Amino acid sequence: MKLFTVGPVQMYEHTLKERSKPIPYFRTDEFSKVMLETDEMLKELLHTKKDSKSIYLTASGSAAMEAVVCNCFNKKEDKLLVVVGGTFGKRFLDICEIHEIPNEAIILKNNEVLSEEHLLKYNDSGITGVLVNLDETSTGQLYDIDMISSFCKKNNAYLIVDAISTFLCDEYYMDKWGIDATVLSTQKGLCLSPGMAIVTMNKKIVEEKVNKNNFPSLYFNFKDYMSNMERGQTPFTPAVGLVFEIYDMLKTIKKEGLSNRLKKIDNLAKVYRENIVADGISLPEYPLSNAVTPTVLEKPVAMDIFNELKNDHDMFVNPTGGVNADHVLRVAHVGDLNEEDMIEISSKIKELYKKY
Ligand SMILES: *Cc1c(COP(=O)(O)O)cnc(C)c1O
């Protein structure tokens, strides 16, 4: 089986080995040390200061999206601007609606690029926070972070970034880009098994928002997580085995060098993109993350190709939801994949496309 999907991804051998070890008891100094060291490495890779605080949730990424919104904002004081460029942006909007947090939404049309005009409309309109999925994984569009960041600075709005698929695939500079909170999840850019999500927040949003907010929740109360993390623990039983997977992965990336890891993924994306374009097969024109390439098929055969790749070749690509279901396949470049894999999957897709 080979996964060309963006989460779960084709996992690395060293992760599979780590996963096969017995799970230890975790209320120990030894485990605390692993948590604290993991968090230190994570902050380094996020390019954020040591005084930022991370929340390690045992939950999928969507739980972290909901938790960050509820812990940082409330319906009395806030008005959030949500970038809705696909299914994950829509999820942020649903979270605001469910928790009745006042909001405005920038709803992008199919293939529309997020531009300065979209944002300018909301200058001086009382926006207190912006929610954005930097790589909107459902379309692969990578938004212009400098543009979003300067809107937030001008409007004194907090910037919450879901970096679940862009982190460790594209460059990411949390502090330099003025990002107040970053949302991550283990099964995408981190290339691990699903089950944990992380929110890393800077000192400013912790002090000014989280500590003052009274979000009524037992499991998702960030204050509880922050005080436990002072000693390298979580309030509830974490997915202990996954903590070791994260530790092992961050250590590996540090050894390999972050820029080498990013270069490798950038190269795989290039190789695939150069090879896939053919008669009837094209790429979107908006800016793309290195994580995944939406592959646009003129004939409505995306699901046929998806199924044949899966059933006859044991190769998995991401189908696409919504209006593009018949016309777009998404192929990931993250995980334990190499140039030959990129050439193989692009050739196979072209071959099957011709057949239909
Ligand atoms: C995958 C993903 C999520 C979270 O999905 P879960 O299934 O809840 O882990 C959120 N945002 C983005 C951008 C994603 O790619």
Domain extent for 189: 13-255
For residue 97, give both structure tokens. 């609606």
- Please answer whether residues 200 and 43 qualify as being in contact, where contact means their C-beta atoms are separated by less than 8 angstroms: yes
- Please answer whether residues 190 and 243 qualify as being in contact, where contact means their C-beta atoms are separated by less than 8 angstroms: no
DSSP-assigned letter for residue 169: T
pLDDT in the model for residue 35: 98
State how far the Cα of 80 lies from the Cα of 49, in Å rounded to an integer: 25
Question: Radius of gyration over alpha carbons of the chain, in Å?
Answer: 20
For residue 274, give both structure tokens. 């150069």
The reply to whether 71 and 124 lie within a common domain is: yes
Residue 40 resides in a domain: yes
pLDDT in the model for residue 323: 85
- With a 6 Å cutoff on the Cβ, whether 88 touches ligand 1 is yes
For residue 31, give both structure tokens. 């485990």
Residue 3 resides in a domain: no
The reply to whether 342 and 321 lie within a common domain is: yes
Give every strand in the sheet of 281-282, ordered side by side.
Answer: 281-282, 292-297, 328-332
Residue 7 resides in a domain: no
The reply to whether 147 and 76 lie within a common domain is: yes
Does the pTM surpass 0.95? The reply is: yes
pLDDT in the model for residue 65: 98
Residue 6 resides in a domain: no
The CATH number of whichever domain residue 308 belongs to comes to 3.90.1150.10
The reply to whether 78 and 115 lie within a common domain is: yes
The reply to whether 131 and 182 lie within a common domain is: yes
Closest ligand 1 atom, CA of 166?
A: 13
pLDDT in the model for residue 223: 98
Domain boundary among 255, 282, 300: 255
The reply to whether 188 and 287 lie within a common domain is: no
The CATH number of whichever domain residue 229 belongs to comes to 3.40.640.10
pLDDT in the model for residue 321: 87
Residue 126 resides in a domain: yes
pLDDT in the model for residue 15: 98
pLDDT in the model for residue 101: 98
- With a 6 Å cutoff on the Cβ, whether 128 touches ligand 1 is no
Residue 2 resides in a domain: no
Residue 8 resides in a domain: no
The reply to whether 285 and 143 lie within a common domain is: no
pLDDT in the model for residue 322: 85
Please state at what angle helix 29-46 crosses helix 240-256, rounded to 10 degrees: 50
Domain boundary among 237, 255, 273: 255
Q: Exposed, middle or buried, 141 (CB in 10 Å: 0-12/13-18/19+)?
A: buried
150-153 long-range CB contacts below 8 Å, 24 or more apart?
151/119, 151/120, 151/122, 151/123, 152/178, 153/178
DSSP-assigned letter for residue 152: H
Position of tokens 């030894």?
30
The reply to whether 138 and 267 lie within a common domain is: no
**Ligand 1 centroid, distance to 132 Cα (angstroms):** 12
Encode 48-66 in three state secondary structure: CCCCCEEEEEECCHHHHHH
Q: Facing residues of 161 across strands?
A: 132, 182
Pocket test for ligand 1, best of 68, 134, 137 (most atoms within 8 A of CB): 137
Question: Both ends of the chain: CA-CA distance in Å?
Answer: 24
Say how many domains are in the chain.
Answer: 2
DSSP-assigned letter for residue 197: E
Mean pLDDT of each 10-residue bin along the chain, 356 residues long: 96 98 98 98 98 98 98 98 98 98 97 97 97 97 98 98 98 98 97 98 98 96 98 98 98 98 98 97 97 97 97 96 92 98 98 94
Domain boundary among 223, 255, 287: 255
The reply to whether 118 and 33 lie within a common domain is: yes
The reply to whether 166 and 25 lie within a common domain is: yes
The reply to whether 251 and 283 lie within a common domain is: no
- With a 6 Å cutoff on the Cβ, whether 294 touches ligand 1 is no
The reply to whether 211 and 278 lie within a common domain is: no
